[in-house]
């Protein structure tokens, strides 16, 4: 019985790791579907404009922009998950270990500077930043570009969804701000359960709220990691107030995004080789935390 429960728990635990990825995918595709519906069926607001040739061009441009962002999000997320950021399969060097090398008792090997052990992945990760719960993968030296680009297009996509859902707010403001309309935007679930709104109105309000909250959260996260990239830091180094590996603004961006940093964010297919190897880093400041 104990063995059966242990196997069952292992299966539940392994399946649970993919739950955030599934929820993220459902959220992204549901928002995309809702915005597509707004573009194709609801917009533009004036009925007379829906029959013009410009309306068709307008819709085509919006759909192209929307699915371009969706394609970049899914492609970068896929490459982020598939790219191995760990020390597995990496030759870490010979016997001459420089300053900053440490011994990892879990991996039973010496690890280079800025490398740390992830207990979720159960392996050391080169220039480890953090473990991304939403993708079940660590953010490290080799996959940081895909992580940051995915964040960028998620932010842009949510901003686009917020702008398109602004039609709901415009209609509400035209009819006047009432207690009913405010409650619909603040607590759509309660309004639906109590029978105060239709399922269609609830769907628009719920997705609009989700887009606004998601946009603010992703914007804050994106801003934080852009600042880290410009400063040449990882999250761990930021917490310890250390900045010993900063090479200057443009050089830091090149270290994180590669040699083609100025264009590689447009498409994950654009090659942008990283200038380093994730093992050796040029030290430009003190390795001790600032007091």
3-state secondary structure of 143: coil
CB of 167 within 8 A of CB of 278? no
How far apart (Å, rounded) are the C-alpha atoms in residues 130 and 125?
9
Pairwise CA distance, residues 138 & 224, whole Å: 17
User: Dihedrals φ, ψ of 176, to 5°?
Assistant: 100, 140
Catalytic member of 115, 124, 132, 138: 132
Helix (H) or strand (E) holding 286: none
Both structure tokens of 261: 């940093």
CA dihedral 202, 208, 213, 215 (to 10 degrees): 160
- Check: CB of residue 84 under 8 Å from CB of residue 140: no
Known active-site residue 132: yes
Helices 199-231 and 19-37, interaxial angle, to 10°? Answer: 120
H or E segment and range at residue 214? helix 199-231
Residue 196 DSSP code? S
Q: Kindly report each contact of residues 184-189 with a partner whose C-beta sits within 8 Å and lies 24 or more positions away, as own/partner.
A: 185/209
C-alpha dihedral, 145 to 151 to 152 to 153, nearest 10°: 110
Q: Rounded distance, CA 222 to CA 241, Å?
A: 20
Ramachandran angles phi, psi of 285, nearest 5°: -150, -175
The residues that are catalytic are 132
């Amino acid at each position: 019985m104990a063995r059966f429960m242990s196997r069952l728990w292992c299966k539940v635990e392994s399946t649970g790791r993919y739950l955030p990825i599934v929820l993220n995918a459902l959220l992204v595709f549901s928002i995309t579907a809702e915005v597509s519906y707004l573009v194709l069926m609801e917009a533009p607001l004036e009925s007379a404009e829906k029959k013009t040739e410009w309306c068709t061009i307008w819709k085509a441009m919006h759909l192209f922009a929307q699915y371009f962002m969706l394609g970049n999000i899914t492609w970068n997320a896929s490459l982020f998950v598939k790219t191995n950021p760990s020390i597995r399969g990496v030759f870490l060097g010979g016997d001459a270990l420089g300053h900053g090398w440490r011994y990892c008792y879990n991996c039973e090997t010496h690890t280079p500077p800025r490398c740390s052990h992830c207990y979720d992945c159960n392996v050391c990760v080169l220039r480890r930043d953090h473990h991304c719960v939403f993708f079940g993968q660590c953010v490290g030296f080799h996959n940081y570009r895909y992580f940051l680009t995915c964040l960028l297009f998620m932010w842009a996509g949510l901003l686009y969804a917020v702008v398109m859902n602004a039609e709901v707010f415009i209609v509400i403001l035209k009819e006047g701000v009432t207690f009913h309309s405010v409650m619909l935007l603040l607590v759509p679930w309660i309004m639906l359960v109590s029978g105060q709104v239709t399922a269609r109105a609830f769907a628009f309000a719920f997705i609009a709220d989700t887009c606004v909250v998601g946009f603010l959260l992703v914007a804050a996260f994106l801003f934080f990691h852009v600042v880290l990239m410009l400063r040449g830091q990882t999250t761990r180094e930021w917490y310890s107030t250390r900045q010993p590996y900063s090479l200057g603004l443009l050089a830091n961006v090149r270290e994180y995004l590669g040699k083609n940093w100025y264009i590689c964010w447009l498409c994950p297919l654009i090659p942008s080789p990283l200038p380093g190897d994730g093992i050796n880093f040029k030290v430009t400041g003190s390795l001790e935390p600032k007091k």
